[in-house]
Amino acid sequence: MSHPTLSPPSLKIRLRDVTGEMHTGGVKMTSLPTKTVGIYRRHGVLGLPTDARIRNFSGEEIDIPEQRYRNGGHEPPFEELPWKEVYEVHSNAETDDG
C-alpha cells in the first residue's frame, strides 16, 4: 500500500519594507530601526531623578530615567540633550517661523 506524498503548499510572501516597497516571492530582510532618539532631558522634581524624553522608531514619545537612557546606549549622549525648557523655546520659535 502506497502512501500519498504530502508536500507543503507553495507560499508567496508579501512584505512591505520600511520604505513601503512591496516585495513578493522571496523575503527581503530589512533591519528595522531599533534605536530610540533622545529629544530632551527634564530636571527631576520632588526627589525624582532627572529623566529623558525619547522617540522610538514608531514615533511614540516616552520618558525614561536618566540612568536607563545612559545604560541603553541612546543617542545623542545624555549631556548633549537640551533641557526641556530650551527645547520648548526652540520648538515654539520654529513653529512661529513656519
Residue 52 sits in which domain range? 33-97
Number of separate domains in the chain? 1
Higher-pLDDT residue of 78, 28: 78
Residue 12 domain-assigned (yes or no): no
Residue 84 domain-assigned (yes or no): yes
- Check whether 25 has a pLDDT greater than 70: no
Higher-pLDDT residue of 53, 18: 53
> Rounded to whole angstroms, how far apart are CA atoms 2 and 64?
64
Residue 1 domain-assigned (yes or no): no
pLDDT value for 2 = 58
pTM confidence score: 0.59
Residue 48 domain-assigned (yes or no): yes
Residue 77 domain-assigned (yes or no): yes
- Looking at every residue in the chain, the average pLDDT score rounds to 76
Residue 91 domain-assigned (yes or no): yes
pLDDT in tens, 31-72: 445 678 999 999 998 988 899 999 988 899 999 999 999 999
3-state secondary structure of 53: strand
